[in-house]
Amino acid sequence: MSLKDKCAVTGVGETAYSKNSGKSVVALQMEASLKAIADAGLKPTDIDGVIPYGNLDVVAEEFITNLGIQDLRFSATTPLGGASCVAAIQAAVSALVTGVANHVLIPIGRNGSSGERIGARAADLPQFRTIGEFEMPSGNIAPPQIYAHMARRHMEMYGTTSRQLAEIAVTVRSNAILNDNAVMQKPMTIEDHQNSRMISDPLRLFDCCLESDGGAAVVISTTERAKDLAHKPIYIMGVAEGHPDSPSAITQRPDITTLGTAKAAPRAFGMAGVTPKDIDVAEIYDCFTYIVMCQLEDLGFCKKGEGGDFVSNGRIALDGELPINTHGGLLSQSHIIGMNHVCELVKQLRGTGGKAQVANAEVGLVTGYGDMGDGAVAIMRN
Amino acid sequence: MSNTLPDTYDKPMPPLNRDSKPFWDSMQEHAMRLQRCADCGKVRHYPRPVCDSCYSMEADWVRASGNGRVHSWTISHHAFHPGFLGNLPLMLLTVDLDEGVRICAQARDIVPEKLSVGMPVLLDYEDATDKLTLPVFRPA
């Protein structure tokens, strides 16, 4: 049974994104959820499925209590770090198509800036256990370091340069400036990127994403029910998750320049019945510039090793061949664990992308990327 | 040797783990041993209960030759743990050992300009505390 077009995103909701929300994490998630439910034209009590983020402490019970859900029929978590939001779409679709639930809420939200820092939390995750035992004692501790080994290898094997990574940071920043709900509003040049502080060579400060406060949520419904709701449904054509070889230790991965995305992409494209050439707009999980480039390769937009050239010469700009991260991404809008990417893709396909609207966007793609290489891909259409 | 170590160690310590105890014990002996499937002979790292080739749960431990080649690296200019503030910049290598597994460890006596993929390196040992010895790599 194919899941193609069986379900749709019916509602999206986002709080203000900031460096200091002044609100609790539960409040941020509820605010975003209420907005998404209202956007769909539903009542909170219509929600009968919820997929909370597995790495945070807001559990399904909180949604039952706060939203007055009388009969929650489906709950699950998708513990793929930053790939969780997109992987949760696959879980939601699976539950909806089989009739287990009718409207699944996928909420997320955190105080990643004003609350506990993201790096501090990563060390405690079970997915990082072997890193914690064998690499952290030697000083290989945080994502900018452990991913730098991947980026350096790519540079040495394929000639990729820091200036090519800068193209990604600069493009995404220029999109953020068009977005009123983006934290970073100052223009960035290639030289600004090259002059930014080296964090863990070859990754500079401007290769790294923000740490942010905020919440975002989506509602997924069956296509049949979606047709009666507030907006034109945004159909889920294809969705898949993929886990890399040696998922809990990059060092032991046969090819450290390949992510789980490479396994998810053929499944998602195959289900959707489209190819990378058909994608009008792509929201690519951008915890680091390098991870964007690597995913573009693993998704098949270009061959392995050609990502540096692919992202250059305006190809990924708003008026380019493949506009990416039209909202400003994790790099410049806000780090909402990629749910802001899902919300943005839906807005682009509805034609409500504001100043960053891609003309005639009909088919789009969103990715999640998490922990040390988990990937998830969703392809949607209007 | 232990009397030259600081009284308080301020860097992350590896959590205790029954599956990997022989590895850490071998490090303290300055004789790194790697886990090997007792049935099919596949060497694996990091230590874990099952061989993913033949599913045997029997393992023995073989002495690492100490010879390796640089697979990748990073040089960190930011301390992500306060214990490393005095060690910046920190050169971290991912090294292919001759046994077919990789080790992530700090570099010693290697200048950044000399680093390249495939560069031969040699395993060495540094006693961090009287209970923890960490691997480092020097130019071969």
List pLDDT tens digits, range B67-126.
999 999 999 999 999 999 999 999 999 999 999 999 999 999 999 999 999 999 999 999
Q: Does B18 touch chain A (CB under 8 A)?
A: no
CB A371 within 8 A of CB A128: yes
Smallest CA–CA distance from B106 into chain A, residue:
A138
- Is the pLDDT at A121 greater than 70, yes or no? no
Question: How far is the C-alpha of A150 from the C-alpha of A367, rounded, in Å?
Answer: 19
Count interface pairs A-B at CB distance under 8 A. Answer: 106
Q: Which of A40-54, A86-100, B1-15 has the lowest mean pLDDT?
A: B1-15
Q: Chain B residues with CB inside 8 Å of A256's CB?
A: 71-72, 94
pLDDT digits (tens, 9 = 90+) for A302-331: 999 999 999 999 999 999 999 999 999 999
What is the number of alpha carbons within 13 Å of residue B24 lying toward its C-beta? 18
The verdict on A27 touching B (C-beta cutoff 8 Å) is: no
- Whole-number Å distance between alpha carbons of A53 and B67: 43
- Contact (CB, 8 A) for A36 and A339: no
**pLDDT top residue among A372 and A300:** A300
CA distance A132 to A372: 13
Q: How confident is the model at residue A238 (pLDDT cuts 50, 70, 90)?
A: very high
CB-CB under 8 Å, A144 with B117? no
Banded model confidence at residue A38, pLDDT cuts 50, 70, 90: very high
B chain contacts of residue A198, beta-carbon cutoff 8 Å? 75, 77
Report the share of chain A in percent with pLDDT over 70.
97
Mean pLDDT within A215-226: 97
Amino acid letter, residue B109: D
What value does the mean pLDDT of chain A take?
A: 95
Residue for token pair 């605010």: A31
**Cα(A326)–Cα(A204) distance, integer angstroms:** 22
Task: Compute the distance between CA of residue A44 and CA of residue A59 in angstroms, rounded to an integer.
Answer: 17
Interface contact B117, partner A, CB < 8 A: yes
The burial class, CB within 10 Å (0-12 / 13-18 / 19+), for A326 is: buried
- Which CA distances in Å does A257 have to A150, A158, A202, A316? 6, 10, 14, 21
DSSP B96-115: EETTS-EEEEEESS--GGG-
- For the full predicted model, state whether its pTM sits above 0.90: yes
Q: State residue B1's pLDDT score.
A: 41
| Per-residue pLDDT at A117 exceeds 90 | no
Residue range B1-30, pLDDT digits in tens? 444 555 689 999 998 889 999 999 999 999
Q: Do A149 and B92 touch (CB under 8 A)?
A: yes
B30 touches chain A (CB under 8 A): no
Percent of chain A surpassing pLDDT 90: 92
Domain B65-140 has CATH 3.40.920.10: no
Judged by CB atoms closer than 8 Å, whether chains meet at B132 and A137 is answered as: yes
pLDDT at residue A127 in the model: 82
Domains of chain A, start order: 7-115+213-238 (3.40.47.10), 141-210+239-381 (3.40.47.10)
| Cross-chain residue pair A153–B132, CB shorter than 8 Å | no
Q: Provide CB contacts within 8 A for A285, sequence distance 6+.
A: A82, A83, A86, A291, A292, A295, A330, A338, A341, A367, A368, A369, A370
Q: What is the pLDDT of residue A124?
A: 74
pLDDT band at A371 (very low <50, low <70, confident <90, very high): confident
Average pLDDT of the residues in A196-218: 97
Q: Confidence band (pLDDT; 50, 70, 90) for A118?
A: low
For residue A83, the SS3 value is helix
Is a pLDDT exceeding 80 seen at residue A277?
yes
Encoded tokens for A68? 């007055």
The per-residue DSSP string of A260-326 comes to THHHHHHHHHHHHT--GGG-SEEE---SBHHHHHHHHHHHTSS-TT-HHHHTSTTTTSTTSSS-B-T
Domain locations in chain B?
Answer: 15-63, 65-140
pLDDT at A123 exceeding the cut of 70: no
Burial of B125 (C-beta count, 10 Å sphere; 0-12/13-18/19+)? middle
DSSP one-letter code for A355: G
pLDDT score, position A87: 97
Which tokens belong to A60? Answer: 């399904």
**H or E element in which residue A254 lies:** none
**Which among A137, A200, A252 is the nearest to B74, CB-wise?**
A200
Q: Which two tokens stand for residue A363?
A: 């088919």
